[in-house]
Structure 1
């Protein structure tokens, strides 16, 4: 088995695993997003209260506007179902991929061809 064949096998295995993990992430992401939004709103309220106390209430109106904007921006409806992403393997190229074709500065691991 050549280096190119081994690289193709590893790439295919990595793409399959990435597909599996992306499905798990799509299932869990909405819960994490909602939780993060709730925590961000609480953090903005806490920060606003602290700044309001520190400034003696001089900027109370501006702080309330800021926290309302944060709350509004995080309270957007989310898509019911995330978009589906399908990764299909590319057709086999006529020429094998070598380090030199992807990176001109790289050297071939098998070394240069022998000179006569």
Structure 2
């Protein structure tokens, strides 16, 4: 070995992995709202198409019930998303050593 013990090497690898995980979590946090909005838009469209087809197949007998369910689905997908997501704390390797 090059003077570094197995425990030290494991700690170095862990520190590097923690830093990378912090970076990736920031990227995910930035991109997630766009994906959620896109998924909600697609779900509303799919619900509308399904409701229209079911209404047509049933000859409009359940039109009011189908409209109620469609409205509830739309409302649940349109509700505001929480913006107070937990804060990600990135611990730098040097800070982590000082904490121990």
Fold conserved between structures, TM > 0.5: yes
Between Structure 1 and Structure 2, how many residues are aligned? 92
- 1:51-95 deviation per Cα after TM superposition (whole angstroms, max 9, x unaligned): 112222111111111110011011112345644221445855xxx
TM-score by length of 2: 0.76
The match for 2:23 among 20, 25, 29 is 20
Q: Give the RMSD, CA atoms, in angstroms.
A: 2.1
The match for 1:32 among 35, 58, 63 is 35
TM-score by length of 1: 0.67
More helix by share: 2
Structure 2 segments unaligned to the other structure (5+ residues): none
Q: Give runs of ≥4 in structure 1 deviating > 3 Å.
A: 79-83, 87-92
The match for 1:43 among 33, 43, 46 is 46
Higher RCO, 1 or 2 (CA under 8 Å, sep at least 6)?
A: 2
